[in-house]
A and B are shown apart, each in its own frame.
Chain A
Amino acid sequence: MATYVIRRFIQGLIVLVLATFVIYSILVITPGGPRDQIAQLKATSTSSRPVNAALLTSLLKAYKLDDPYPINYLRWLFDPKDTTALDPNDNTKEIQKGIDVTIGPIHLKGAGVLTGDFGNSLVVNKGSNVMTLMGDRLGNTLALTISSLLLSILIAFPIGIISAIRQYSRLDYSVTAFSFVGLSMPTFWLGLMLVIFLAVIPKQIHDSGVSWMPYMPPGFAFDTDQEGNNINRIYHLILPVTVLSFVNVASFSRYVRSSMLEVLRQDYVRTAWAKGLAQRTVILRHALRNALIPVITVVTLSLPFLFSGAIATETVFSYPGMGKLFVSAIFALDIPLVMAFLLIITTLIIVSNILADVLYAVADPRIHYS
């Protein structure tokens, strides 16, 4: 098991390095990326309005574009010459950045993506560190995604189990129909509908004199005058969490149901029934434990999205989380921000893939990895 985990991690590292190369290439080579931005800047510069030299240097410096293509990728990963940055508090001073360590005979000095230096935002929040920007949003996103994940598990597991036990009952058909609708629903549209029909229109009725008419907040993490009020935050979370959970419940309950159905057909469950055990014992102690094994994988693989946030949901509800930040970064073509986001999510996807395999083996003693 230990050797398996180590091997998977080494494989994961290789995949991660290749993935960074793919992401860097996509962002730098695709038409419309930084190369085109620079070309456009140069093309629009005239003698009366010269190109903004500072912007040009910052773009060139951020992606090491002054080098030919595959080499600039390596310099973007780790650049031994890039050791200083402008002091964020005082733009005239330079400060040390990156690492400066000596391991035996090797003296390492420099900065790059490998040392966690993702650079500064160029447009969305000009000059601020990309990691700080994302860190500020992470709390909001986690509040949304974790509460939705927990809620969906709490709802989906019982209904999945019950509809498997009572297969072909009316309840089972309704659950199946519900999950079909959930999986066919464009999430952002569900969000829009809730905003219009539960927030905008009731608020309009409320404002036009019907003061008892309740309405939901249409978006944002809290009302502007209510910062720090946790009740207000929860109130604002209700609609986004509903939308997000709707989809999760649809897919989780389907997995739980089919996995439970499979287990219920197995011989050892029939033996348990034959022994005269109570229904409760057979279902919860014997069947469920095995039925949950494949579900572990599904839930583990959804973990990266806790951090990336729900791009669609956050956009519709103007919820200031990671997904919204990412969308604004795309619109502004703020490549350092986009790149950092993609790299972090890719890392999480690779890690959660490994985690899913390992957990699967831990939970199911029938599986032996070597």
Chain B
Amino acid sequence: MAAVAKVEERLAPAESSQLAATWKRFRKHKLGLTGLVTVILLVLSVIIIPMISPFAYDYIDPMALVPDSRYPATESNYAFKPALWDSPLSGNVHVLGTDAVGRDNLSRLFQGGRISLAVGLLSTIIVVIFGSIVGALAGFYGGWVDTILMRIVDLLLSLPILPVLLVLSKMLDQSGIMTNIFGKALGTVATIILVLSLFGWLGISRLVRGSILSLRSLDYIEATRALGANNRRIITRHLMPNSIAPIIVAATLAVGDFIITESFLSFLGLGIQEPTPSWGNLLQGAQEYSSFITNINPTQEIRGYLILFPGLMILLTVLSINFIGDALRDALDPRLKM
């Protein structure tokens, strides 16, 4: 064991220079760099803005519930306050107005960003860990372990994933089991992370298996084994680090996919639910327009910006993440280039 560690120690400097080389190649990818900067800015803004905002995301401005004589009240939601609405008594200014309950739209937009990004990130972490374990076991041990695990993956991949996710989140939501465990605010968040992770690991496990399978028979693994390393050490120290490149790329792209799926589920009302905001459920209120079209009031103000911003945030985030993924693909392994 000591011998293995010693040999590895001597080889260690190569690792850091590889990281530097990767960064050097990544930097050349202009769009990837732009994506990285955008994601960093987005993450910072969803962390900081809810902290410095004068209104908590669940603060109800009492004045918003009183009809405002300056704006024509509509029969459906007089509490919806338009952009740059200033509360006549309290003097509060709501930059994007308030929602039907009287909460500040801007605060909810960024708090929703926190939730959406956290869901994407957490689901990805779970999926990568679980998928890597399954893939590594299947690829390393081969034989019946491989057969059983990969048949399960094939079987689950033959299911229509999105429809199954919709059904599962509805049923879990109906049963209230997650709300009982995690509380009202986090229950639906936990549900969606669970549901997304349930099928999200399939691709990663196939990727890891394939990569381990191709590395397993190489000479350096044979050499490590001859030095006395056990299976666990071979997998964790020698096989996984060498198959990390495709995993990182797939994980990056998975974050974007999860954010989109989460927003769709929440938009339908099957994902994250009140009082917790997310980019998806902020779009929910907008849908009533499409069913109201036949008898829409000519004087009613239609606030297109209400659906513009949450959607733009999703698009911007996912686009940046996809650019990063593309740049990483080029930077980590030039052979993977499409």
Interchain CA distance A155-B332 in the complex, whole Å: 33
Contact A18 B289 (CB under 8 A): no
Given A23-B159, A192-B283, A311-B163; A30-B172 close (CB under 8 Å): yes
CB pair A317 B290 closer than 8 Å? yes
- Do residues A192 and B160 form an inter-chain contact, with CB atoms below 8 A? no
A342's partner among B160, B290, B293 (CB-CB below 8 A) is B160
Please name all residues of chain A whose beta carbon is closer than 8 Å to the beta carbon of B177 when the two chains form the complex: 31-32
Q: Determine whether A71 belongs to the interface, using a CB cutoff of 8 Å to chain B.
A: no
Indicate if the CB atoms of B158 and A353 lie closer than 8 Å.
Answer: yes
- Closest chain-A Cβ to B338's Cβ sits at a distance in Å of 5
Is residue B315 contacting chain A, with contact meaning CB distance below 8 A? Answer: yes
Residues of B within 8 A of A349 (CB): 158-160
How many A residues have CB within 8 A of the partner chain? 57
Is the contact region of chain A dominated by helix, strand, or loop, or is it mixed?
Answer: helix
Q: Are A208 and B298 touching (Cβ within 8 A)? A: yes
Given the known inter-chain contacts A180-B322, A186-B264, A189-B283, please indicate yes or no for A200 contacting B296, CB distance below 8 A: yes
The answer to whether A327 touches B268, judged by C-beta atoms less than 8 angstroms apart, is yes
Contact of B314 among A183, A186, A345, A353 (CB under 8 A): A186
Given known pairs A22-B155, A192-B286, A350-B158, the reply for A186 and B171 (CB within 8 Å) is no
A204 to B263, CA, bound (A): 28
B287 at the interface (CB under 8 A from A): yes
Which residues in chain B, 255-309, are within 8 Å of chain A measured between CB atoms?
256, 260, 263-264, 267-270, 283, 286-287, 289-291, 293, 296, 298-300, 302, 304, 307-308
- In the complex formed, the residue of A with least CB distance to B256 is A184
Main SS at interface, chain B: helix
Asked if B48 lies at the interface with its beta carbon under 8 angstroms from chain A, I say no
Q: How far is the CB of A41 from chain B (nearest CB, A)?
A: 13
A–B pairs, 12, beta carbons within 8 Å = A18-B155, A22-B159, A32-B172, A184-B318, A184-B322, A189-B263, A196-B286, A196-B302, A219-B291, A342-B160, A342-B164, A346-B160
**Interface of A with B (CB < 8 Å)?**
15, 18-19, 22-23, 26-27, 30-33, 36, 180-181, 183-189, 192-193, 195-197, 199-201, 203-204, 207-208, 218-219, 258, 304, 308, 311-312, 315-318, 326-327, 330-331, 333, 338, 341-342, 345-346, 349-350, 353
Binding site for A on B (CB under 8 A): 154-156, 158-160, 162-164, 166-168, 170-175, 177, 256, 260, 263-264, 267-270, 283, 286-287, 289-291, 293, 296, 298-300, 302, 304, 307-308, 310-311, 314-315, 318-319, 321-323, 326, 338
